[in-house]
Amino acid sequence: MENASLSTLIVEYLGGVYFCFRKKIENEGNMKQYSLLFACLFFLCVGGKAQEQPTRWTLRACLDYALEHNIQVKKSKVSHLSGIEDTKQAKAQLFPSLSASVTQGFVNYPSSDAATNNSYSGNYALNAKWTLFDGGQRVQAIKQQEIQNTVDELGIEQNEDDIQISLIQTYMQVLYAMESVRINQNTVEVSTAQRDRAVELLRAGSISKVDLAQLESQLSTDKYQLVVAQTNLDNYKLQLKQLLELDITEEIELVMPELTEKDILTPLPSKQTIYNTSLAVMPQIKSSELAVDIAELEKKKAKGAFLPSLSMNAGLGTGHLSGTDYAFGSQVWNSFNESVGLTISIPIFSNRQYKTAYNKAKYAITTSQLELLNTQKQLLQTVEGIYLDATSSQTQYTSATERLSYVKESYNLIDEQFSLGMKNTLELLTEKNNYLTAQQEQLQAKYMALMSVQLLNVYQKKSVAENY
């Protein structure tokens, strides 16, 4: 309110300034320029005021915002870029390396009787080294890193899936809490009307003070339940805001989607179909499969360590030394040298280093294969659980909707009979609580079904429905 009032004052002030200087501006012939200036200032203020209004979030808006701003997603993208640099470095190992060196030395001979007891020396070199063969270790390392880059990309996708799953769950909890608050508000309103009517009936002698006390007690209970429902809503909103990583000062307001029974009772494919689709599209499965490939390449790389390696060395060098009869240029020229050579290195005994590395690489293959199997089983368990939630909640919703219609009719009849003095307070309150329970049961089944369907969409790489 304070910010809004400030913006209003600014707008009013600018309007006053504009009015005071209008005639002067017109006389100067710059009406268009000054009008444009004041218009810009005005809309800036109005725009600032509009931005103060809470943002209305749909499920689609939440998902899009989180995928763009989530810290874990950003970190995984940076990690992927780092992996690309590692790939470039691995490929660079196939090419020769080139280095230059300059060495300057100074030697002092304090006990020497020579006229000059100091000596200066300099050496200059340019060296190149090229590994021609290393048993294929560098090639396997490049393949490993390229596969790892793909794994990093899948890691980005998996982080995106994780945030989508968390957002869908929390978003549905918020919607459920919003409707629960609405139901409890209606209940408080009805309880208040019943209490007020009971006061009139007491005055007319139709009910006792005990009946009125029971209704007042029920009203207090309903108000308490409303507070609890509102607290739950605030907590779920806070969780959603934290998932979106919004500033603590920002408010969040959700758009209640217009959903029909068709949305709630969406036909589902078979469990096996969903599972097979998940196996083909979920990033954790692809990552586990690629982990097996990386382990197999590590085995090949370890095997290459048993083979000889061949490298070529080449260099250019020269130097000079003080205290001689030769000039600096002559020394540099006379000391100029060229060298080239081949080096073959044959592993003979390495204290079991290579053998251990090879055996561990074989064990890593088995471990990665078992991890793949475990990932597949975990995915199956997850899909089975969500599928069961979806099918059972859809069935529960149908039953709860039917029960609600009967309970509502029964409650309306008893409420009418109570007004006529044909039913007592206990019967009225019992049926009223049954009606409230039936509403909550339908609401729980509704949002459990909606949430489960959307989660199954995530595991099938399907987009969220447009009406969310």
Establish if 116 belongs to a structural domain: no
Establish if 300 belongs to a structural domain: yes
Instruction: Report pLDDT digits (tens) over 180-210.
Output: 999 999 999 999 999 998 898 888 887 889 9
Confidence of residue 396 (pLDDT cuts 50, 70, 90): very high
In this structure, are residues 154 and 77 in contact, taking their beta carbons and an 8 Å threshold? Answer: no
Establish if 246 belongs to a structural domain: yes
Residues of the chain with pLDDT > 70: what percent?
A: 85
Instruction: Report pLDDT digits (tens) over 207-227.
Output: 889 989 999 999 999 999 999
Distance of CA 431 to CAs 209, 284, 374, 408, 434, Å?
21, 51, 51, 9, 5
Same domain, 49 and 85: no
- What's the confidence (pLDDT) of residue 117? 65
Same domain, 230 and 251: yes
Confidence of residue 333 (pLDDT cuts 50, 70, 90): confident
Same domain, 80 and 184: yes
Same domain, 140 and 177: yes
Instruction: Report pLDDT digits (tens) over 18-32.
Output: 444 444 444 444 444
Measuring CA to CA, which residue among 103, 98, 104 is closest to residue 126? 98
Establish if 59 belongs to a structural domain: no
Specify burial of residue 1 (Cβ count, 10 A radius: 0-12, 13-18, 19+). exposed
Establish if 141 belongs to a structural domain: yes
- What's the confidence (pLDDT) of residue 119? 75
**Distance separating alpha carbons of residues 395 and 445, to the nearest angstrom:** 8
Same domain, 204 and 249: yes
Specify burial of residue 57 (Cβ count, 10 A radius: 0-12, 13-18, 19+). buried
What is the domain range of residue 16?
A: 2-53
Average pLDDT over residues 222-239: 96
Establish if 103 belongs to a structural domain: no
Tokens 């009013």: give the residue.
Answer: 12
* Average per-residue pLDDT for the chain: 86
Strand (E) or helix (H) holding 315: strand 309-321
Higher pLDDT, 14 or 100: 100
Instruction: Report pLDDT digits (tens) over 118-150.
Output: 778 889 999 999 999 999 999 999 999 999 999
Establish if 336 belongs to a structural domain: no
Same domain, 302 and 172: yes
Same domain, 7 and 91: no
- What's the confidence (pLDDT) of residue 105? 86
